[in-house]
Amino acid sequence: MVTILYFARLREALGRNSEQIPLPPAVRDLEGLRAHLVARGGSWAQELGPGKPVRAAVNQSMAVGDMPVADGDEIAFFPPVTGG
């Protein structure tokens, strides 16, 4: 299982702040997981699809597409940050 968290605009658009899913066997990295979620269609494809300004973290560190993901990881998707 992996835990996936969603924040800010993504949380609202996807209608959830977190979920736990079994890591699909074909998914090896962050980009793979994003593609897996996009394949759900609807708002998932809309919000996480190519060209969307989505940032991500793996185990609470900022990460980019080729970052490996593994069973037990906490992965987060969110818009570019706007603090300060």
Partner 1 sequence: MSVRIQPGNFDVGAEIAQLQGNDRGIGAIASFVGIVRDVNEGDRVSEMTLEHYPGMTEKAIEAIIAQARSRWQISDALVVHRIGTLKPAEPIVLVIVASAHRGDAFAACEFIMDYLKTRAPFWKKEQSATGPRWVEARSTDDIAAERWRLKG
Q: Which residues bind partner 1 (CB under 8 A)?
A: 5, 7-9, 53, 57, 60-62, 76, 78-84
Of 12 and 66, CB closest to partner 1: 12
Closest CA to 58 of 37, 40, 36, 78: 78
The least CB distance from residue 72 to partner 1, in Å, is 16
Of 70 and 81, CB closest to partner 1: 81
Instruction: Determine the Cα–Cα distance for residues 39 and 77; give it in Å rounded to an integer.
Output: 16
Category of 75 on φ-ψ map: left (φ > 0), alpha (ψ -120 to 50) or beta:
beta
Of 22 and 84, CB closest to partner 1: 84
The least CB distance from residue 32 to partner 1, in Å, is 22
